[in-house]
Structure 1
Amino acid sequence: MVLTRGDLIMAAPRKYPLELRERAVRMYRATGPKPQIKRMAVGLGVHPEALRSWIRQAEADAGERDDRLATAEREELAALRKENAQLRRANDVLRTASAFFAAQLDPTRPR
């Protein structure tokens, strides 16, 4: 297996634990009339925009929003982009090798 520069980059650690995110979204969904996100975020000790983002993502994952990709779709898109980049690199290598060997087989061909 060949490691590329992209394989060596590690994701940054999450600022808030996953359990806190899940609990915050559950709390938001469990309340009757929707509470103010800012007030709830202050009570949980998180940034309001972080909580708003978690709620939006949970709604997208549940199929309640069409303006965001679900988590599974986002992961699939990232994997496909990575595979596409690898295939482009492989094609470049094959193109270069093909030109090299063509030049070796036909020395009269202009370079």
Structure 2
Amino acid sequence: MPKPYSREFRDDVVRVARDHEAGVTVEQIAKDFGVRPMTLFKWLRQADIDAGARDGRR
């Protein structure tokens, strides 16, 4: 069963991923925070949906 992450933790990781320096990959950021890259990609997609920047449909 996946371990639950707090909303604050997810928001912090998404913020770092959005503001990363050139040459730093999302995969590396995920590794640095101890989450799977696919998890971080899902969080980024959900953050876009929550902000209204992306449609909620696939």
Q: Give ranges in structure 1 of 5+ residues lacking alignment.
A: 1-13, 70-111
User: What's the CA shift for 1:34?
Assistant: 7.8
User: What's the CA shift for 1:23?
Assistant: 0.2
1:1-111 matched pairs, under 5 angstroms:
15-33=4-22, 35-66=24-55, 68=56
Please report the TM-score for the alignment, with normalisation by the length of structure 1.
0.43
CA distance in structure 1 between the partners assigned to 2:53 and 2:29 by the alignment:
21
CA distance in structure 2 between the partners assigned to 1:28 and 1:21 by the alignment:
11
Q: Give ranges in structure 2 of 5+ residues lacking alignment.
A: none
Post-superposition Cα deviations, 1:58-78, rounded to whole Å, max 9, x if no partner, equal 011112112x26xxxxxxxxx
The aligned length equals: 55
Which one has a larger percent helix, Structure 1 or Structure 2?
1
Task: Supply the RMSD in Å over aligned alpha carbons.
Answer: 2.0
**Structure showing greater relative contact order (alpha-carbon pairs closer than 8 Å, 6 or more residues apart):** 2
Please report the TM-score for the alignment, with normalisation by the length of structure 2.
0.74
Q: Following superposition, which runs of at least 4 residues in structure 1 exceed 6 angstroms of deviation?
A: none
